[in-house]
A and B are shown apart, each in its own frame.
Chain A
Amino acid sequence: MSNLSLNNLDTKHPLYKRIELYGLPHSKTEQYRNFPIKAILAREYTFKKVQFAQMREGKKLLIENGEVVEYPKGVKILLDKTFNADEEHFDVLYFASHMLSKAVIYIEITENLKFEMQHIFNNQETLLSYRIAIRVKKNLKVEVFESFEMHGSENSFFLYGIDAMVEEDSTILWIRYENREDTEAMLVGAHKYSVAKQGALELKTFDYGSASSLHLYKIDLEDYAWLDAAHILLATKEAKRGNVIQANHNKPYAKSVQEARSILKDTATGIFDAKICVAKTAPYSNASQNSKAILLDEHAHMYAKPQLEIYIDELKASHGSTIGTLDEDALFYLSSRGIKQDDARRMLVLAFADNLIHTIKDKTYSKKILEAFEFLL
């Protein structure tokens, strides 16, 4: 057993220089400032990597303790040892996960497809690291529902990531549903999505519960590419969790919309650290960010940092952020009609998140997401 340090990484790997340059993240690293990365990296683990064994063709991509057990029908899947990671990614653990994984699970999609991706992890004191690369070929519509089942993974660390490439005129709807408790593994997801000309990424994330986890996204948008992102965070107990997002408008007429709703209970900390970068090469971009957070308890905390980094004049851009408590007038209005305080609070919190939850059109998924949300309130 050992901890994750530079000593565990291959010094000959092409990405090593990047890690050597920045060092592994620590408590002062900006994107990890409110996340217990120091404790995670100090802990000792048994290291585990991805493997292909007896895979079956089925309905979903099922990865159990790093072993690909099932893959969806209609895709090409292989272990790719030559995958080129994005050397410009802002997150060091993105590089580390690529180095630890050695090979990525590469999936090529050539037809319209809807499938579930399920991560099962139930090893204790284990560092499990793997990466999944998905290429969506031109002119397709793909929907992915990603979920996590991690009971029994105490004192473990799950470091994974997605490299998704959406080719021209294709759309991918990615729903990440993560409902996890504090007895489960710490999680860092370091992702890269690139969206080609006239492509679209609909990224909907639902982070619930008391587990600590952080997802870091680098999203690159080409001409007329579109990012539609919605993030619901419902953090409880001592959770520290959220999203760090960098959306890059690289070419003209790219559009990005980010809406985040965070609800923090108990002593939980929520993180929404999102930056939209509009390059000189991306005139006529359209970018908006909005983060709203409700603190339900006195010691709950929200770290919201919406940012715009703009190098051109010809664009539309806006961003905003609010953090507050429930509206007392609204609470009184509901109570004055005989609705109990607790029920009134639930009603208002549901209303706060409702419009983003209802962006999920699939009724099975939206029901699951809504019921879990209501249960935790």
Chain B
Amino acid sequence: MIDIKNLHIKIGDKKILNGVNLSLQKGKIHVLMGINGSGKSTLTKAIAGHFEIEVLDGEILYKGKNLLDLRAEERALEGVFLSFQNPTEIAGVNNAYFLRAALNAKEKHQGKKETNAAEFLKLMRAHIEQLGMSQDMIARSLNDGFSGGEKKRNEILQMEILQPDLILLDEIDSGLDIDALRSVAEGINRMKNEERTFLIITHYRRILDYIAPDFIHILQDGRIVKTGGLELVDTLESEGYEGIKKDI
């Protein structure tokens, strides 16, 4: 589904990724773990086309294209979705207006009929209810004044409405209470199917108990150093990253 080959990235003067090689399979949930500063968020930003990213070498092959040749919005229209660790607050941009614009852009790109305002409102209300969010999310400005939990649920709301193919979730579980975590995990599970790929960044096991990942990858010093199953998380839980290092 997506092949990341020999990816070298720097942000500003700092080299962060030092030759990442990673294949993400269709229909699978991949989890990316690593110590702070190991390059996890940089990797998702590189896939999504963040403006700070400077590609030194490598390629990201997806649907027959090198994603690195595409602008951020083109990547999104090809089905890439990044859920941000700290979603940007944008005062004055209405949440519903923004999300409908995003959906219509995707529909237009796919040659489909654009969802009209009434249909969209119905769709948004249904998803908001499913996620246990307040209906006033419709009228509020995008992430503006949202609590941490509200922001994360709003990311999941966007994901469920936009129905992307490659989903990058950067610490979607951070700062969530138990109910919010369950709600977010349910959203992920609703989206899981044989065509869709997930790459989830997390520091903790608790979200993994809800979503049954297929692969765990460990990123260290800007490289993938180990790939395995949930047993890697058990090692991390008991021995920390030092335990992983011993096996490398």
Contact = CB atoms under 8 A, between A and B. Distances in A.
A330 interface: yes
Interface string B109-122: 10000000000000
Contact of A350 (B48, B76, B77, B92): B92
Contacts of B49: 335-336
A339 B106 CA distance: 8
A330 B106 contact: no
Contact of B51 (A332, A337, A344, A351): A332
Nearest to A344: B73
Contacts of A343: 101, 105
A328 B141 CA distance: 18
A339 B87 contact: no
A83 interface: no
B105 A347 contact: no
Contact of A333 (B71, B88, B106, B162): B88
A334 B92 contact: no
Contact of A330 (B75, B90, B101): B90
Given A338-B77, A354-B92, A355-B92, A332 B101 contact: no
Interface string A344-375: 10011011101100000000000000000000
A contact patch SS? helix
Interface string B134-166: 000000011000000000000000100010000
A337 B76 contact: yes
Contacts of B82: 336
Contacts of A332: 50-51, 72, 88
A352 B84 CA distance: 23
Nearest to B102: A337
A328 B90 CA distance: 11
Given A335-B72, A335-B73, A347 B158 contact: no
Contact of A336 (B72, B99, B109, B141): B72
B1 interface: no
Contacts of A339: 73, 98, 101-102, 105
Contacts of A327: 88, 90
B91 interface: yes
A339 B108 CA distance: 11
Interface in A230-281: none
Given A328-B51, A335-B73, A351 B105 contact: no
Contacts of B88: 327, 329-330, 332-333
B55 to A, nearest CB: 16
B61 interface: no
A344 B50 CA distance: 15
A333 B49 CA distance: 11
A350 B92 CA distance: 8
A336 B67 CA distance: 13
A332 B49 CA distance: 9
B93 A338 contact: no
Interface size band for A: 20 to 34
A185 B77 CA distance: 46
Residue picked from B48, B51, B90, B91, most chain A C-beta under 10 Å: B90
Interface string A306-341: 000000000000000000000111111111111111
Residue picked from B72, B158, B162, most chain A C-beta under 10 Å: B72
Contacts of B71: 335, 341
A351 B101 CA distance: 14
Nearest to B74: A338
A215 B142 CA distance: 35
A351 B92 contact: yes
B76 A347 contact: no
Contacts of A329: 88
Interface string B163-189: 000000000000000000000000000
Interface string B198-223: 00000000000000000000000000
Given A328-B51, A341-B71, A343-B101, A336 B90 contact: no
Contact of B93 (A328, A340, A341, A347): A347
Given A333-B142, A339-B105, 19 more contacts: A327-B90, A328-B51, A329-B88, A330-B90, A332-B50, A332-B72, A335-B72, A335-B76, A336-B81, A338-B73, A341-B71, A347-B98, A347-B101, A348-B93, A350-B92, A350-B93, A351-B91, A351-B92, A354-B92
Interface of B: 48-51, 71-73, 75-77, 81-82, 84, 87-88, 90-93, 98-99, 101-102, 105-106, 109, 141-142, 158, 162
27 contacts: A327-B88, A330-B90, A332-B50, A332-B72, A332-B88, A333-B142, A334-B98, A335-B49, A335-B72, A335-B73, A335-B76, A336-B73, A336-B76, A337-B99, A338-B76, A338-B77, A339-B98, A339-B101, A339-B102, A340-B105, A341-B73, A347-B93, A347-B101, A348-B90, A348-B93, A351-B93, A352-B92
**Closest CB pairs A-B (n = 8):** A351-B92, A338-B76, A337-B102, A335-B72, A333-B88, A335-B73, A338-B105, A351-B93
